[in-house]
Amino acid sequence: MIKKLNYVAVIILVMSSCIITNAQQPLKFGHINSTLLVSMMPEAKSADSLLEKINKEVEGQLKTMYDEYQSKMADYQKTEAGLSELVKQAKQKELTDLEQRIRDFQQTAQESFQKKKEGLYTPIFKTASDAIHEVAKENGFSYIFDSSLGVLLYAPDGDDVIDLVKKKLKITTPTPTAPPKPREK
């Protein structure tokens, strides 16, 4: 819901700037489905293939660990009645430890997978973003929207009106340094 509101706010700002700048030069809008674009990039296909291989390895290891757990649990359940209390406790601890190892492995594997995915996809996203900015400049686009995410991907320099709005609202607090804007510098 917040993304949609932000998207609407951006559209309102863009339309407002259209009225102001329309006399100066016509604005040219474009849109792109960046998710589709990235999925078509050869680099993404290679990354997906590598990630799938890693995922299969992890699933194989998890299956081995789970099978070991199931086997030990079945063995424990068969022999539980004839075991001394001390041996029961040792077997229960062994099962509990194995459960914890499985959970730890799953968590570590998931974190590792996310880091690997981020490492592989960050340069792919940068390549796509750079290409979008180049196309925007080469073809005279004023704004390019991402139809898959509902965000503004490109805007020419000088379109940030935060200082004007702050002045209107009588806000004197300095504008904090924001993360890099999704546009050409």
Residue 7 has pLDDT above 70, yes or no: no
**pLDDT at res. 31:** 84
Cβ burial, residue 95 (10 Å; 0-12/13-18/19+)? middle
Which residue from 128, 129, 130, 126 is spatially nearest to 118, judged by alpha carbons?
Answer: 126
pLDDT band for 47, please (50, 70, 90 cuts).
very high
| Least confident residue range of 6-15, 50-59, 125-134 | 6-15
- For the chain, state the CA radius of gyration: 27
pLDDT band for 171, please (50, 70, 90 cuts).
low
**pLDDT at res. 107:** 97
Q: What is the pLDDT of residues 94-123, one digit of tens each?
A: 999 999 999 999 999 999 999 999 999 999
**pLDDT at res. 150:** 76
Buried b (16+ CB within 10 A) or exposed e, 123-148: ebeeebbeebbeebeeeebbbbbbee
Which stretch, 78-82, 95-99, 124-128, 136-140, has highest mean pLDDT? 95-99
Whether residue 113 contacts residue 54, with contact meaning beta carbons closer than 8 Å, is answered with: yes
User: Which residue has better confidence, 126 or 152?
Assistant: 126
Tell me what percent of the residues of the chain surpass a pLDDT of 90: 44
Residue 20 has pLDDT above 60, yes or no: no
Cβ burial, residue 109 (10 Å; 0-12/13-18/19+)? middle
Q: What is the pLDDT of residues 130-150, one digit of tens each?
A: 888 888 888 888 888 887 887
pLDDT band for 153, please (50, 70, 90 cuts).
confident
Whether residue 153 contacts residue 29, with contact meaning beta carbons closer than 8 Å, is answered with: no
DSSP 170: T
Residue 162 has pLDDT above 90, yes or no: no
CA distances from 162 to 13, 72, 166, 169 (A): 11, 64, 6, 10
DSSP 97: H
